[in-house]
Amino acid sequence: MTTPNHKIRLVMELRRAGVVDTRILSAMERTPREVFCPPQFLDRAYEDTALPIAHGQTLSQPTVVGLMTQAIDPGPRHKVLEVGTGSGYQGAVLSLLCRRLYTIERHRPLLQDAEQRFRDLRLANVVTRHGDGWKGWPEQAPFDRIIVTAAPGDVPGALVDQLAEGGILVVPVGREKRSQSLVRVRKTASGTETEELAAVRFVPMLTGVPTYATDDVVPDGSQRNRA
């Protein structure tokens, strides 16, 4: 059972981990993490730990969500791309901080579950797509911010290309979980500036999309969630 004390304790842990932006702390406090947890892990919803979800993916550790969100510094006028919708938790937090969130997921069942959670939470500024995250979302580019929640071996060039000038991309990079780094890329008029922020562990970022029996999204693969 979740109580206000669970959320307070998590916010304190986020602060200790270096999440100091009050906008982000507020957004995470307002986002009910239990909604994104598998039923068997509900009692751990506000622990600062990653939790397994379907298709070999994970519900990210709250401090990692907070630090990644802080690293891209989303603003209320920003157009944000998220690569790797997963459970929808990171996207739900972002949606409270930006003008519009575009989010891509390669596993259709995960995306459908996340879409329902977005609807239940009345997050009307989220647009979803079933697709290959390596390709980004060129039809909607440029983006002010891009966040990637799976680890490629290198920074995907297609995503850098889809950043607006002055934009920020945050991505965990590394082929092995034990040697991944969270990388921030800033796009400038003369090129890009890259810095490593922290050691992290993410599932690998894969190319293509798995095949499923049903296909009930609109032809371009996108769907807007309406409250």
Residue 218 structure tokens: 């609109």
Catalytic residues: 60
Domains annotated on the chain, with CATH: 50-224 (3.40.50.150)
Q: In what order do the strands lie in the sheet with 126-130?
A: 191-200, 180-188, 163-173, 143-148, 79-83, 100-105, 126-130, 222-224
Query: SS3 for 198?
Result: strand
Q: What is the dihedral of CA 186, 187, 192, 196, to 10 degrees?
A: 10
44-66 confidence digits (pLDDT tens): 999 999 999 988 888 989 999 99
* pTM: predicted TM-score of the whole model, two decimal places: 0.90
pLDDT of residue 214: 53
Residue spans of alpha helices (H) in 1-87:
4-17, 22-30, 62-72
pLDDT of residue 217: 45
